[in-house]
Structure 1
Amino acid sequence: MAAPDYADEKQEPVIKASADTYGTDYDGHSSINTISALVAEDHGHDIQLRTMSWQKAAWLLCGDQVCLAIMAQTWSLSVLGWVPGIITMVVAGILFWITSMTMWRFIMKYPQIKDICDFAYYACGKSKIAYEFAGFMLMANNILLIGFHVLTGAKVLNTLSDHSLCTVVFSVIVTVMGVVMSIPRTLKHVSFMSMFSATCMAIAILLFLVFSGIEAAPLYGYYGDYPTDGAVHTYAFPIAGTTWVGCMNAVLNITFLWVPQILFPTFISEMEKPQDFPKSLAVLAGISAFLFIVPPAIGFRYLGQYATAPAFGSLGVVAYKKASFAFVIVPTLVIGVIYTNVSAKFVYFRVMGNSRHAHSNTVIGWGVWMLIVIVSWILAFIFAEVIPSMGDFLSLLGAAFDSFFGFIFFAIAYWQMHQGKLFAGVTRSVMTIVHAFVMICGLFLLGPGLYAAVEAIMADYATTVTPAFSCANVSL
C-alpha cells in the first residue's frame, strides 16, 4: 500500500490576505489558479474526476440527503414534542449551513484537498495523526452506513413480498445490486443516479403523507397497537416517563440527518469549478429545510405518540404501507453507492498512489477498484447481519463520528483560518462565537451523546436480539 501524500503539499497555494463577508483569509485569484491547474492535470488523465457542474453536484447532494432518515424524524418529534423537536431541527439546519460554508472556504484555501481526511490534516495543522484518525473514522462510518442500507433494502423486500424468502437472501440480493451499481468511478455518473433517488424518496414521502391523512387510525406504536395508548394526540414537550436516553437518541437522530459533511470534500474535489459549490449547497439547504421539517411535522400530527422509525411502519393499511415504502428501494441503493464511492476512493488512492493505473483504464486499475468495491459491500453485508439494532448503531455513529465530521473539525478549521484575528470586526466576532458554540455542540455529542447511544445498545443486548445471519422476518 502506498503512503498517503497528504493532499500533495507541493501544490499548496500561496495564501495572502483578503476578506469576504465572513472574513475568510485567502487570495481568490491564487486559489482559482491552483484549481485551474488541478483541473487541467485531471483532464489529462483517461479517467477524469473533476468534471461535475454545480447542477450535478446539487443532484448528488440531494441524492445523499433525501433519504429514509427523513421518515425517522416523526419519531423524534414524538419523543421530544413540538417545541424541543422543532427547535432542534431549526438549530441543526442553521449550523449545517454555517459549518458547510466554513468547510468550503477552508477548501478554497487548500484546493488540493480530496476528502475529509485531507481536510482534517490541514485543519489540525498538517497533522498526520489527524489524517489517519479521520481515515479510520471515514471507513468505519461509511461501511456501517452501507450496512444499514443493506439491512434497509432487505426490510423493503421483506415488506413487499410478505417475507417470501429468507432475510439473508434478500440481503445478498441488495448487496449484489449495490456492487453492480458501484462500478462507476466518477461522482458525475453517480449524480445521474441521484436524480432518480431523490425523486423516488420524494414520492415515498408524499404517498406517506397522503395515506397517513386519509386512514382512520395508525396501526401501532412502540407502546402498543392503536388504541392501547389512547387516542392519537400531539404535545409540546416530552410526555411523562420519557427518559433522558430516549431524548438524547431523538436528538442524535436529527443531527445525524443534518450532518452529511463527511462526503462534501470529495464532492467538491470532483467539481470542475469548486468555487460554485455554494450554489449547490443553497439548493440542498432549501430542499432539506422543507423536507426535514414539514413532512415529519405532518406525520406527527396524524400519528402522534404512535409514530415509529421509519414512520411507514405506523400506517394502518398494509396496502398503504407497501405502496409508499416500495419507492425507498431506489434511494437505499443509490445512497449506499455514494458512500461506497467515497470510501473506495480513499482506499484506492492509498493502494495505487501516483501510478499510471490510478487514473487510467488499465486492467490492474479497474481490477483493484472492483476488488475494493466488492470487499466494501461484503463487509457492510456482514455488519448488517450481525448487529442486532442498526438504529442504535446509527446513534453511536452520530455521537462518535458526526461530532467530529459535523462540528469539531469545522470549529478547528475556522480557528486555523482566523487565528490571531478571531475578533477583528463585528461579523468576524459573531462568527467566532457561533463556531465556539459549534465546538460545544460537537463535544456534547461526543460526551453525553455517546453515553446515551451506548446505553441504548446495552439495553438492546440485554433483551432478545436477532441471531446473526437470521432468516427472521424484518418487515415493517
Structure 2
Amino acid sequence: MALPFPDDVSGGSENRQEHLTRRPSSNYTLSSQAVESEPSAGTLSRLDSVGQRGLTPTNTPVSSTLSRGTKKTAGEMVRSARASASSGSSGDVERNAGSKEAGPAGAASDDANVGEGEKDSLNREEHKQIHWFQAGAVMTAETVSLGILSLPHALATVGYVAGIILIIGIGLLATYTGYVIYQLKLRHPHVRSFDQGLGMIFGKPGLWIGKVLQTLLLIFIMGAHINIFSIMMNTLTNHGVCTVVFMAIGTVVSFVVSMPRTWKSTSTVSIASCISIATATVIAMVAIGIEKRGVGNTFAVVPAELTSFSRGAMAVSNIVLAYNSQIAFPSIIEEMKEARDFPKALAMLQTLTITIYIVVAVVIYHFAGQDVAAPAIGSAPLLVRKIAYGIATPTIVVAGVISAVVAAKQIYGDFWHKDPKVLREKSLRAYGSWYGILAALWVVAWLIAEAIPVFGQLLAVIGALFGTWFALGFCGMFWLWMNWQGSMKSSYGISWKKTSLACLNTAIILMSAAICVFGMYGSIKAIVQDAGGKAPFSCANNAMVAE
C-alpha cells in the first residue's frame, strides 16, 4: 500500500504526477510519469511543507531539488536527488532510485558507496522475517487468550444489550487504535515500543514513564499466566503437588519457550495457541450447554439489585483488557517483511476477536446464567474442566511468553543501544544478555504470582490503571501529536475529516481516563470485599473445587 502525501501534490499540471511511494527500507522515492512542464507554485509550496514536516526521511527536503522559475522534468529531479545523496548529503532519497535503469553496474556502484548507516539499515531488513498472517497469529494469540473467559461474567454483570454493545464498540475502537499505531510506525520507523512514542510527545519523562508502565503491565500479565498455570495443574492432578512447585514449573516452562529472540520462532506456537483456546472454549460451551443450569436466569438488562456501579465498571474494564494487545504491535511491525501488510493482520485479528467474543460471551452466559464463573471454564463439570484446561495449555503458556518477549525486547534494546549490532549477533554476549533479561523478568513475575494472595482482583487494578491506556488512550495521544504538527485546514477551509478524527481521539482519551478511575474503584472495592484470600507462598489448592 502506497503512503501518499497528506495533501494532493499533483499541482496544476495534468500530465505530471509526482508521488511518494513506500519502499521496504522505510525510505521514500520520487516516481514520475512523463513530464516536461514546469511545476506549479502550489506544488512547490506543498512539497516545501512536506519536507518541513519531516515526511521525507532525508536531511535535504524534496523541495531543495526544485526552484521557482526553473524548468525540470521529473526524471531530472530524480537524478538531482540521487546526485545530492551521492555527494555526501545524508539524504536517503532512495540511493537505488535509478537502479532499474542503471542495471548491475549501477547497483554495484551504489553498493560501493553504502555507509555505515545504510549497512545498519540492511541488517535491520534482514531481521524482518514474518509475513502478515504470521503477525496476525501472534497478535491473535496475545489477544484471544484467557481474557476471553471473563466475558460471560461481564455479560452477567451488565446484561445482553449493554454487553454486546460494549464488546462490538470497544472492538471497533481497538481496531482504529491499532491502525493509529501502524500510522505512527510508518511515519516514525524508529519507534519500536509505546515508551518511545510517549518519549516523542513528552520528552525524556514520557519515555521513562512509558517504560515503567509498559514493563509493569507485561510483568503482571506474565505473573497472571504463572498463576493460571498452577490452577490448571492443580485441576489436572487433583492438587497432586504443592502449588508453589506448580508455579515454579510454570515459570521454567515459560522461560524456555520465550528463549528465541525473533517473533518468527514464536508465531508457529501462536497458531497452536489460537487452536487450543478455541477448542477449549467450544468444549466448555458444549458441556455448560448440556447441563443448562442457568437457562432462564439471564437478563437483557440486569436489574439494579443484581449488580452495582462498581461491578459494572469492572466489567467494562475487563472487556477493554480483552482487546489489550496493542502493546505488542510496534515490535511485530518491526519484524514484518512488509510493514504495509499490517492492516491485513489487524483486520484478521479484530474480525476473529469480535466474532469469537460475542459467540462465547452470549452462549456461555445463556446456559450458565447469572452464576457463571470467571474464568468461564470453572462453570463446567470437573471432568470437562480438566479436559478444557489440558487443551488450553498452549494458550496459557504462549500468551504469557509473548508478553515476556515484548518486555525483554524493550530492555534488550535499551541495554545495547550504544552497540546496536549486538541485537543481531549470534554471540555469547548477545545470547547471554538476552537469556539473563528473560530470567530476571520471569523471576519477578513468579514472585508476584506467589506473593499476592488475591491476584485476580489486583490484576484488575493494574489493568484498569495501565491496560486501558495502552489499548486506547495512548493511541489517541499518538494521533493528536502526529496531526497537531500539521495543518488542520485544507486549501478549501477547515478539514472536517481531521476535525472529526481529532474529536474522536480526544473522546478516546477522556473515555480511557474514566474507565481507569472507575475501573480502579470497582477493583479495589472487590479486593476489600474478598479480603480473605489465600496466604502468600502457600501450598494450598488454588483451583476451583468441584461441586
Asked if these proteins are the same fold (TM beyond 0.5), I'd say yes
Structure 1: distance between partners of 2:118 and 2:334: 10
2:388 aligned with 1:324: yes
Structure 1: distance between partners of 2:487 and 2:175: 22
For each residue in 1:183-235, what CA deviation from the matched residue of structure 2 results, as whole angstroms up to 9, or x when unmatched?
Answer: 100011111110111011111011111111112536xxxxxxxxxxxx75110
Residue 371 of structure 1 deviates from its aligned partner by 0.8
**Structure 1: which amino acid aligns with 2:539?**
C
1:270 maps to 335
Seen in structure 2, the aligned counterparts of structure 1 residues 370 and 249 have a Cα distance that, compared at 3 Å, is same
1:129 maps to 205
TM-score by length of 2: 0.76
1:194 maps to 270
Q: Quick check: 1:388–1:467 contact (8 Å CA) kept in 2?
A: yes
1:110-149 to 2 correspondences below 5 Å = 110-122=188-200, 124=201, 127-149=203-225
Q: Quick check: 2:199–2:207 contact (8 Å CA) kept in 1?
A: yes
Seen in structure 2, the aligned counterparts of structure 1 residues 44 and 428 have a Cα distance that, compared at 3 Å, is closer
Q: Quick check: 1:232–1:306 contact (8 Å CA) kept in 2?
A: no
Q: Which stretch has the larger CA shift, 438-447 or 195-204?
A: 438-447
Q: Quick check: 1:15–1:109 contact (8 Å CA) kept in 2?
A: no
Q: Quick check: 1:31–1:111 contact (8 Å CA) kept in 2?
A: no
Residue 140 of structure 1 deviates from its aligned partner by 0.4
1:34 maps to 26
Structure 1: distance between partners of 2:385 and 2:291: 11
State the secondary structure of the residue aligned to 2:392: helix
1:176 maps to 252
Seen in structure 2, the aligned counterparts of structure 1 residues 244 and 183 have a Cα distance that, compared at 3 Å, is same
> Number of paired residues?
439
2:310 aligned with 1:245: yes
State the secondary structure of the residue aligned to 2:543: coil
Q: Quick check: 1:256–1:402 contact (8 Å CA) kept in 2?
A: yes
1:469 maps to 537
Residue 42 of structure 1 deviates from its aligned partner by 5.6
2:374 aligned with 1:309: yes
Residue 329 of structure 1 deviates from its aligned partner by 1.5
State the secondary structure of the residue aligned to 1:34: coil
Q: Give unpaired runs (5+ residues) of structure 2.
A: 10-18, 29-91, 93-116
Q: Quick check: 1:115–1:269 contact (8 Å CA) kept in 2?
A: no
Seen in structure 2, the aligned counterparts of structure 1 residues 28 and 201 have a Cα distance that, compared at 3 Å, is farther
Q: Quick check: 1:48–1:359 contact (8 Å CA) kept in 2?
A: no
State the secondary structure of the residue aligned to 1:259: coil
The equivalent position to 1:166 in structure 2, one of 233, 242, 246, is 242
Greater RCO (Cα-Cα under 8 Å, separation 6 or more): 1
2:281 maps to 205
**Structure 2: which amino acid aligns with 1:457?**
I
1:343 maps to 407
Seen in structure 2, the aligned counterparts of structure 1 residues 427 and 15 have a Cα distance that, compared at 3 Å, is closer
Query: Which structure has the greater CA radius of gyration?
Result: 2
Residue 467 of structure 1 deviates from its aligned partner by 0.8
Seen in structure 2, the aligned counterparts of structure 1 residues 411 and 321 have a Cα distance that, compared at 3 Å, is same
Seen in structure 2, the aligned counterparts of structure 1 residues 213 and 446 have a Cα distance that, compared at 3 Å, is closer
For each residue in 1:132-153, what CA deviation from the matched residue of structure 2 results, as whole angstroms up to 9, or x when unmatched?
Answer: 1110011100111000000001
Q: Quick check: 1:31–1:109 contact (8 Å CA) kept in 2?
A: no
Q: Quick check: 1:422–1:432 contact (8 Å CA) kept in 2?
A: no
Structure 2: distance between partners of 1:69 and 1:131: 28
The equivalent position to 1:293 in structure 2, one of 346, 358, 361, is 358
1:7-46 to 2 correspondences below 5 Å = 17-18=6-7, 29=21, 33-34=25-26, 41=120, 44=123
1:85 maps to 163
1:357-396 to 2 correspondences below 5 Å = 357-396=422-461
Give the alignment's Cα RMSD to 1 decimal. 2.4
For each residue in 1:78-137, what CA deviation from the matched residue of structure 2 results, as whole angstroms up to 9, or x when unmatched?
Answer: 011111111111110111111111121121111111111112222x15x11111111001
Structure 2: distance between partners of 1:162 and 1:49: 45
Structure 1: distance between partners of 2:262 and 2:272: 17
The equivalent position to 1:66 in structure 2, one of 138, 144, 151, is 144
Q: Give unpaired runs (5+ residues) of structure 1.
A: 1-13, 21-26, 219-230
Structure 1: distance between partners of 2:332 and 2:189: 12
TM-score by length of 1: 0.87
